[in-house]
Structure 1
C-alpha cells in the first residue's frame, strides 16, 4: 500500500501545493489526502471508506486541548515523526530531501529533480 499511495501522491502533488491549500483548514487537507488513500482500496474490494477513515483518524488534529492543557497537540503520527526527525538530526541530516545510499549521505540529490533524473539516479545505483 505504501508504494501505491506514494505513486498517487506524486501524481496529485500539485493539488497540495500552497496555492491549492491556502484557503482550507489543515484537517480539510488531511481529509483530501485520506480520500486519495481510500480510493486505492488498499485493503481489498469494498474497503475504500474504511481505509479513508483509518488514515484520516491518524492525521486529524483534535479540537480540544491535550493533556495538561497542551494546545499544540499534533496528531497520531506526530510522535513518530518527531522521533525520526531527531534520529536524522543526530546523524547530521538537517534538510529535506536528504538521501542516504548504503548508509551514506548523497548530496547530489535535489528537491527539484524530475522523474527522469530520479530514474537515471536509480538506474546508475542499481546497475553498478
Structure 2
C-alpha cells in the first residue's frame, strides 16, 4: 500500500535508499504486549541487520493499529501521529520509548486518569527523544469548552491524520496485533516470539 509523504516517518529505508525490492509492514499497537516484543526485536536486531546486509533490498513500514477494546490505544497512537507531524525522523525512537513505558498506559493504569493527563505523560515521553513537549501537548490536548459553533466532538490537532491511518488499515482487513505483511501478503509464519536469529534466517530465505 502506498504511503503518503506526510507519514514518511513510519518508513525505514537503510542508507536513505528509496528504491527497495521488498517491504515488511508491521501492524503494531502500542498497548499490546506482543506488539512490544515484535518491535523490540525489530528495533534492536532486525534494523541493524538490514542496514548491514539488506540496505538496498528491504524497507519496513510501521502501521499504527489501534485496538479499540483498549481505550488508551487511541490516545497513544495519537501521540505517534503528533510525532509524525512535529519531527517524523524521530518516530521510531519515540515508538521505542513509548513501548518501553507502555504498561503505564494499560487499562488499569489509566482508568482514573483524564484524557489530557494521559496526553501530558505522552508528551513527556516525546521530550525524552528530543520532541518539543509543549508543541506535542498542544497538538494532543482536548479543549474543555465547546467550539464557537457549539460543536462538542472537537477532536485535536491530529484527529484528521489519525482518520486517514485508520481508513488505510481498515482497507487491509488486519485485525490481530502484531501482524506482519511481506510484499502485500500476510506472513503467518512470523511470530511475536521470533528471536533475532529466527529473523535472520527468515530474511536470508525470503530476500533475494
**Alignment partner of 2:158 out of 77, 80, 83:** 77
Shift of 1:37: 0.9
> CA 1:41–1:14 in 2, change beyond 3 Å: closer, same or farther?
same
CA distance in 1 between counterparts of 2:139 and 2:197 reads: 35
Residue 127 of structure 1: SS of its match in structure 2? helix
| Aligned equivalent of 2:140, options 59, 83, 88 | 59
* Structure 2 unpaired stretches of 5+: 1-89
What is the rounded CA distance, in whole Å, between the counterparts of 2:176 and 2:147 in structure 1? 30
1:15 counterpart residue number = 104
Task: State how far apart, in whole Å, the 1-side matches of 2:155 and 2:199 are.
Answer: 35
Return the alpha-carbon distance in structure 1 between the equivalents of residues 198 and 155 of structure 2. Answer: 35
Spell out the pairing of 1:1-128 with structure 2 (5 A cutoff): 1-42=90-131, 51-66=132-147, 68-107=149-188, 113=192, 116-117=193-194, 119=196, 122-128=199-205
1:99–1:109 CA contact under 8 A, matched in 2:
yes
Instruction: Report how many residues are paired.
Output: 116
| TM-score where L is the length of structure 1 | 0.73
Partner residue of 1:47?
A: none
Structure 1 residues 103 and 120 mapped into 2: Cα distance closer, same or farther (>3 Å)?
Answer: farther
Root-mean-square deviation (CA, aligned residues, Å) is 2.5
The separation in 2 between residues aligned to 1:89 and 1:2, in whole angstroms, is 22
Q: What CA deviation, in whole Å up to 9, does each residue of 1:17-68 have, x standing for no partner?
A: 11111111010011001011112225xxxxxxxx111111111112222364
Distance in 2 (alpha carbons) for counterparts of 1:66 and 1:95: 37
Tell me the SS of whatever aligns to 2:186.
strand
Unaligned segments of structure 1, at least 5 residues: 43-50
Greater relative contact order (Cα < 8 A, sep 6+) = 2
Distance 1:9 1:120, change over 3 A: farther
Q: TM-score, normalised by structure 2?
A: 0.48
If each structure's strand is expressed as a fraction of its own residues, which one has the higher value? Answer: 2
